[in-house]
Amino acid sequence: MAKKQRKYDMEYKIQAVKLAKEPGGAKTASEQSIPENTMYAWTKAAREGRLDAGPGSHTP
């Protein structure tokens, strides 16, 4: 049987990315019960400017 895919709203993603900056993505993913690959995708999207996580989240 297929797993039901969870949906996360944009605000949740942004807060998770902000949290991941301090202790790291893997630890934040574990603490928030988010799959590590999902956390990686969100932080990558923030670096590329596709997820607006606020100032300092984009790479030059």
Per-residue pLDDT of the chain (60 residues), as tens digits, is: 677 778 888 888 888 888 787 777 788 888 888 888 888 888 888 888 888 766 654 444
Q: How wide is the angle at C-alpha 46 spanned by C-alphas 37 and 6, nearest 5°?
A: 40
Instruction: With residue 55 as reference, give the H or E element that holds it.
Output: none
Q: Where are the domains of the chain?
A: 10-47
pLDDT of residue 33: 86
- The whole-angstrom distance between residue 52's C-alpha and the CA centroid of its chain comes to 11
Q: The whole model's pTM is what?
A: 0.57
